[in-house]
A and B are shown apart, each in its own frame.
Chain A
Amino acid sequence: MSGSHDTEHHISAYKKVAGALAVLTVVTVLASYVEVGVALGIVLALIIASAKGSLVASVFMHLKDEKSLWLTGTLVLTVVFWFVLMLIPIMGRMDNIGTYKPLPNANAVPYVPH
């Protein structure tokens, strides 16, 4: 258990994070009105959301001070498998099934007998 001094230190961090989250929420809404195209828009929104998410996880959920290797290890493992899960849509589109693909030797020099 941390002492009351630590807790007061935490509270000031909570207030800063609360401010940052409010600012980032406004930023992400404003950014969505800027015409940057769909792809860049998605990237921007996800970067801002990840920043907000990291703040919540590290400060509010105290992951910043977490020392238990079992706990952090489990979370790392979860994140790894989460990414595997998120690969499913990409994997489904890997081979461009149905699109024309030239055979590797299609442009080879034809064999001419001497």
Chain B
Amino acid sequence: MDNVTTADEHVPHAEHGHDGHHELSFLQSYVFSLDHKVIGIQYAITAMLFLLLGFTLMMIMRWQLAFPYTPVPVIGGLLGQNNAQFIAPEFYNSLGAMHGTIMVFLGVVPLAVGGFGNYVLPLQIGAPDMAFPRLNMASYWTFFCGGVVMFASFFVPGGAANSGWTSYAPLSVIATEGQTWWLVGMIFLITSSLLGSVNFIVTTLQLRAPGLSFMRLPFFVWAQLVTSFLLLLAFPPLEAAGVLQLMDRVAGTSFFMPAGLVTGEGPLEISGGGSPLLWQHLFWFLAHPEVYVLILPAMGIVAEVLANNTRKPLWGYRVLVASVIFLGFMSFIVWAHHMFMTGMGTTMSSFFQTTTMIISVPSVVILSAFLISLYSGSIRYPVPMLFALAFLPMFAIGGLTGLPLGLTAPDLHFHDTYYVIGHFHYVVAPGTIFALFAGIYFWYPKATGRVMSELLGKIHFWGSFISIQFVFTPMFITGLAGMNRRLYDGGLEYAHLQEVVGWNATMSYGAWALGFFQIFFIFNFFWSIRNGKKVDDNPWKATTLEWQAPSPPPHGNFTSPPEVHRGPYEYSVPGADKDFTMQGEADPAKA
């Protein structure tokens, strides 16, 4: 770094005691920053923009489902010549594929891991920064490049990838050019995740403050640690698979292409000999652990918010930690439950059905521990707590509806129906994303020194909570009736769906209402930066280390190196003079 010093920039030098400190240019402090907090915020803002984009794609899709073959109002003119009359089928497919890709790989994971992990994790373990700050910056900018490639793919001939977010071969191999962009974008995103996960693991293991033993780590840190291991070991096989599919598309190989493939234009000129099932294996080898990458950080956030607002310790901390580790381990050997319908054989199906039933146990243990934590607490209800409380039943619905899908016999009926869509959206949307909202409301005062508006937050919560039920509950009904996912007109052409197609409009109104209530959040988020109520360093009266740092924390995070004297959730300790004892507080008996 250059030693850039500008005289007119006012920075109080007394606060930055250590040698070699120098002021940074605008680019160094806000764009190519090495500070984990700035990178965390960069991740979070980028991810939230992508979440908004992914959600917008879905709101456009829902118009075609609710009112098939009618022009899209308001933004119809922006969708191009092909979609002027109504949404073209291939564009609908692009919307669906990109909605999934953007939401998972560019929205939720970067926000949960890149955003919250980067911002909160080093603070919670009392570290001055991440272990490898340059790697951290590289990770963000690799992610950014991946996002740009994905976004740009909408404008290539043939539009963005349209073979679903799972990109099953051989369809994806013969798809339009957008698929190649998708693969390149994925390779960027995977590389970014790898760099990030190495950094998270090293930071967690190596930079813990003195006294912060593993059994004193906040649950959020445990969740992030397990998540990082999942990213580290599960993502590379998909990177390999992405390279192979890229070879299939660009170099004309046949890794995923069996011999004798015939399309509408006649037999394909390929050498053949490949295996389409191989793609599914390699994809789901990543994508099942990916499900836990989505849910574990959310559980971590919920744990922090619950303990803080029930004013009592989290119930069963050790059980929670054991469960989250077991969950991480098991998530590597359940992937083929996505593939019961591929004809891979009953021996395999039985094995994966069994492991799937086993993995539901630690999930239930975690959820039960959260529920028991509520028991006999004197609960406060600020906005983050509302979102965290909503997470519990929503995740329970999502999780329990997953059980029939994990059994081979009912899966024959449910596979690829809206029931599946309802199931995983209950896990991810009112589950994970609500937990992420809880996290944003919860840690906002740490990042800005101000709280977000309580009133707007409550409107946002109740509006979202109610309208989201209208989006996803009807999916169970239409799915049970046999409505397939990815149907361009929502099943209008099928005789057996005539009684349920009406629900499509209900779901669409729900989705648009959900979109409307996000306006309150967006406004609140930006408005509160300047106009939110100013608060002190620990507005929620929390115990973990990040609340010991100033708000917002300076470069290097802590004014004095923190030292840890106790576990993470010492709320309402009998005999204490206040109802929370911070981890960094020395024991009065010893002092």
Chain A residues proximal to chain B, CB less than 8 Å: 70, 74, 77-78, 81, 84-85, 88, 91-92, 94-95, 97
Residue in A74, A78, A81, A92 whose CB lies within 8 Å of B344: A92
Tell me whether A81 and B278 are in contact in the complex, defined as CB-CB below 8 angstroms, given that A70-B205, A94-B345, A97-B343 are known contacts: no
Report A25 CB to chain B, min CB distance, Å. 27
B205 / chain A contacts, CB cutoff of 8 Å: 70
Q: In the complex the two chains form, is A95's CB within 8 Å of B345's CB?
A: yes
Nearest Cβ on chain A to B583's Cβ, whole angstroms: 22
Spell out B's residues near A (CB within 8 Å): 205, 229, 233, 237, 275, 277-278, 281-282, 285, 332-333, 336, 343-348
Which partner residue on chain A sits nearest B233 by CB separation? A81
Contact of B347 among A70, A81, A85, A94 (CB under 8 A): A94
CB distance from A89 to the nearest CB of B (A): 8
CB atoms of B233 and A77 under 8 A apart: yes
Q: Determine if A92 and B343 form an interchain contact, defined as CB atoms under 8 angstroms apart.
A: no
Measured in the bound complex, the distance between the Cα atoms of B566 and A68 in whole Å is: 26
Interface secondary structure of A, over-half rule: helix
A86 to chain B, nearest CB (A): 11
A-B pairs with beta carbons under 8 A, tally: 34
Interchain CA distance A92-B274 in the complex, whole Å: 13
Check B281 against A88 for contact (C-beta < 8 Å): yes
Residue of B nearest to A85 (CB): B237
Query: Chain A residues near B347 (CB, 8 Å)?
Result: 94-95
Residue of B nearest to A88 (CB): B281
Supplied contacts A78-B233, A88-B278, 14 more A-B pairs, CB within 8 Å: A70-B205, A74-B229, A81-B233, A84-B333, A91-B336, A92-B277, A92-B348, A94-B347, A94-B348, A95-B345, A95-B347, A95-B348, A97-B343, A97-B345
In the assembled complex, the Cα of A86 lies from the Cα of B275 at a distance in Å of 15
Bound together, the chains give a CA A7 to CA B361 distance in angstroms of 50
Q: In the assembled complex, how far is the CB of residue A26 from the closest CB belonging to chain B, in whole angstroms? A: 31
Q: Which residues of B contact A95 (CB under 8 A)?
A: 344-348
| Chain A residue with the shortest CB-CB distance to B352 | A91
Residue numbers in A under 8 Å from B332 (CB-CB): 81, 84
Contact A92 B281 (CB under 8 A): yes
Contact between chains at A91 and B278 (CB < 8 Å): no
18 contacts between A and B (CB under 8 A): A84-B333, A85-B285, A88-B278, A88-B281, A88-B282, A88-B285, A91-B336, A92-B275, A92-B281, A92-B344, A92-B348, A94-B348, A95-B345, A95-B346, A95-B347, A95-B348, A97-B343, A97-B345
Closest A-chain residue to B285, C-beta based?
A85
Query: Which residues of A are found within 8 Å of B333, using beta-carbon distances?
Result: 84
Q: How far is the CA of A62 from the CA of B346 in the complex (A)?
A: 44
Q: Which of A70, A77, A92 has the most chain B CB within a 10 Å cutoff?
A: A92
Which residue of chain A lies nearest to B349 when distances are taken between CB atoms in the complex?
A: A95
Least CB distance from A94 to B in Å reads 5
CA distance A94 to B277 in the complex (A): 14
In angstroms, Cα B237 to Cα A91, docked, is 17
Provide the bound-state CA to CA distance between A91 and B344, in Å: 8
Q: Which residues of B contact A78 (CB under 8 A)?
A: 233
B-chain residues with CB within 8 Å of residue A84 when the two chains form the complex: 332-333
A85 contacts which chain B residues (CB < 8 A)? 237, 285
- Can you name the residue of chain A whose Cβ is closest to the Cβ of B281? A88
Closest to A97 in B: B345
**Complex Cα distance A58/B359, Å?**
35
A91 to B336, CA, bound (A): 10
A78 to B233, CA, bound (A): 7
Chain A contacts of B275 at CB under 8 A? 92
Contacts of B229 in A (CB 8 A): 74, 77
B281 neighbours in A (Cβ, 8 Å)? 88, 92
Minimum CB–CB distance from B71 to chain A (whole Å) comes to: 47
Q: How far is the CB of A32 from chain B (nearest CB, A)?
A: 24
CA distance A78 to B197 in the complex (A): 14
Q: Can you list the 3 inter-chain pairs with the closest CB atoms, starting with the nearest?
A: A95-B345, A94-B347, A88-B281
